[in-house]
Structure formats: structure tokens, C-alpha cells
Amino acid sequence: MASEKHAAQIKHMKEHYQRIPINVRPEEYAALKEACAKNGTKPATVIRAFIKQYIEENS
């Protein structure tokens, strides 16, 4: 059953989300992770918020 749930999650992600691979310098990523930890958030959340804000301001 767990593998069925996992397969359903993967299918949902493939149908509803797009991955964006990016390269960042290790020190920048470490600084982002540290800043996020201080603010109680995660890098992915901050990046998604930036994308949403950028679209709203530039569309």
C-alpha cells in the first residue's frame, strides 16, 4: 500500500509541477539555508515565494 501511495504522489507531482534545476555556489546555498533556518522556513519555500512575487510584479 505504501508503494501505491508513493506512486500516486509521484504521478501528481509530474502532472502538476515543473522542476527547475539551478546551480548555486556552495557558500550561497549554505547562507540561504542558514537564513531560512533563522526565519523558520525552507529554501524551496523562499524560492517559490520569490517566483510568485516576481510574476505578480512583472506580468
* 38-59: pLDDT as tens digits: 999 999 999 999 999 999 999 9
Is the CB of residue 46 less than 8 Å from the CB of residue 32? yes
CB within 8 A of 29, min separation 6: which ones?
43
The full set of domain ranges for the chain reads 21-59
Q: How confident is the model at residue 1 (pLDDT cuts 50, 70, 90)?
A: low
The percentage of the chain sitting over the pLDDT mark of 70, rounded to a whole number, equals 98
How many CA atoms are closer than 13 Å to the CA of 49, on its beta-carbon side?
7
Question: Rounded to whole angstroms, how far apart are CA atoms 25 and 11?
Answer: 31
Predicted confidence at residue 4, as pLDDT, reads 85
